[in-house]
Structure 1
Amino acid sequence: METITSRDMRVLDINCEFFGLSRLQLMENAGKAVADEIRKRFKSCKVAIFAGTGNNGGDGFVCARHLNDFEVEVYVVSKDVKSRIAKKNLEILEKAGYKIEFGVKETDADVLVDALLGIGLKGKPRDEYAKAIEIANAMDAFKVAVDVPSGLDSDTGNYEIAVRCDLTVTFHKMKPGILKAREICGEVVVKDIGIPKEFERLCGIGDVVETYKRFSDAHKGMHGRVAVIGGGDFTGAVALASLACYHAGADIVLTVVPESIKNVVASFSPNLIVRSLKGERIGLANLKEAEEIVKKCDVVVMGMGVGNNPEFKEFVEELLKGCRKAVLDAEGITENVPESVEAILTPHKGELKKHLRA
Structure 2
Amino acid sequence: MQRLYRNCYAMDRRCYDEYGLSEDLLMEHAAEGMARVIRERFEPGASILIVAGPGNNGADGIALARLLQGRYDLRLLLPLGAKSPMAKLQLERARRVGVPLAEEVEEAALIVDALFGAGLSRPLSEEVVALVERMNALEGFKLACDIPTGLDERGAPLPVAFRADLTVTMGALKEALYSDAAKECTGEILCVDLGVERLLYEEEIRVWLLDEADFDPPLREGWDAAHKGSFGHAAVFCGEKEGAGIIAASAAARFGAGLTTLVIHEKVSAPPFLMTSTTVPAKATAVAIGMGLGEYFESELLEKEVIDSRLPVVLDADALSQPELLQILHQEQRKVVLTPHPAEFTRLWKIVAEEELSVAEIQADRFDIARRFGARFPHVVLLLKGANPFITHLGELYVNPLGSVVLAKGGSGDVLSGLICALLAQGYEALDAAIQGSLALALAAQSWEGADYGMLPTDLIERLPKLGRE
Task: Please give the TM-score of this superposition, normalised by the length of structure 1.
Answer: 0.52
Superposed displacement of residue 199, structure 1: 5.6
Question: 1:136-191 CA deviation, whole Å, 9 max, x = no partner?
Answer: 11111110000010001243444420110100001121111111121111111111
Q: 2:74 aligns with which of 62, 65, 72?
A: 72
State the Cα RMSD in Å: 2.0
Amino acid at match of 2:111: L
2:39 maps to what in 1?
Answer: 39
Superposed displacement of residue 14, structure 1: 3.0
- Does 157-166 or 178-187 show the bigger shift? 157-166
Question: 1:88-135 CA deviation, whole Å, 9 max, x = no partner?
Answer: 11101112221124x6x2212110000000001023211432232122
CA contact (8 A) 1:72 1:98 kept: yes
Indicate the SS of the match to 1:137: helix
Question: 1:63-99 CA deviation, whole Å, 9 max, x = no partner?
Answer: 11221300110001223x2221221111011122211
1:93 maps to what in 2?
Answer: 94
For structure 2, the residue ranges without an aligned partner over 5 or more in a row are 205-470
2:184 maps to what in 1?
Answer: 183
Q: 1:98 to 1:126 in 2, by over 3 A?
A: same
Structure 2 CA distance, aligned partners of 1:33 and 1:182?
Answer: 22
Superposed displacement of residue 23, structure 1: 0.8
Q: 1:163 to 1:71 in 2, by over 3 A?
A: same
2:54 maps to what in 1?
Answer: 53
Q: 1:200 to 1:190 in 2, by over 3 A?
A: closer
1:146 maps to what in 2?
Answer: 145
1:21 maps to what in 2?
Answer: 21
Superposed displacement of residue 56, structure 1: 0.5
Structure 1 CA distance, aligned partners of 2:47 and 2:138?
Answer: 13
Indicate the SS of the match to 1:152: coil
Indicate the SS of the match to 1:108: coil
Structure 2 CA distance, aligned partners of 1:98 and 1:156?
Answer: 32
CA contact (8 A) 2:152 2:176 kept: yes
Structure 2 CA distance, aligned partners of 1:198 and 1:140?
Answer: 39
CA contact (8 A) 2:171 2:201 kept: no
Identity within the alignment, %: 35
Q: 1:95 to 1:153 in 2, by over 3 A?
A: same
Superposed displacement of residue 200, structure 1: 5.1
CA contact (8 A) 2:155 2:178 kept: no
1:63 maps to what in 2?
Answer: 64
Indicate the SS of the match to 1:189: strand
Question: 1:271-293 CA deviation, whole Å, 9 max, x = no partner?
Answer: xxxxxxxxxxxxxxxxxxxxxxx
For structure 1, the residue ranges without an aligned partner over 5 or more in a row are 203-358
Structure 2 CA distance, aligned partners of 1:190 and 1:200?
Answer: 12
Structure 1 CA distance, aligned partners of 2:164 and 2:6?
Answer: 21
1:160 maps to what in 2?
Answer: 159
Q: How does 1:275-294 map to 2 (within 5 A)?
A: none
Q: How does 1:192-341 map to 2 (within 5 A)?
A: 192-195=193-196, 197-198=199-200
Amino acid at match of 1:70: Y
Amino acid at match of 1:13: D
Amino acid at match of 2:176: G
- Alignment length (residue pairs): 197
CA contact (8 A) 1:155 1:175 kept: no
CA contact (8 A) 2:120 2:150 kept: yes
Task: Please give the TM-score of this superposition, normalised by the length of structure 2.
Answer: 0.40
CA contact (8 A) 1:59 1:115 kept: yes
Structure 2 CA distance, aligned partners of 1:35 and 1:139?
Answer: 21
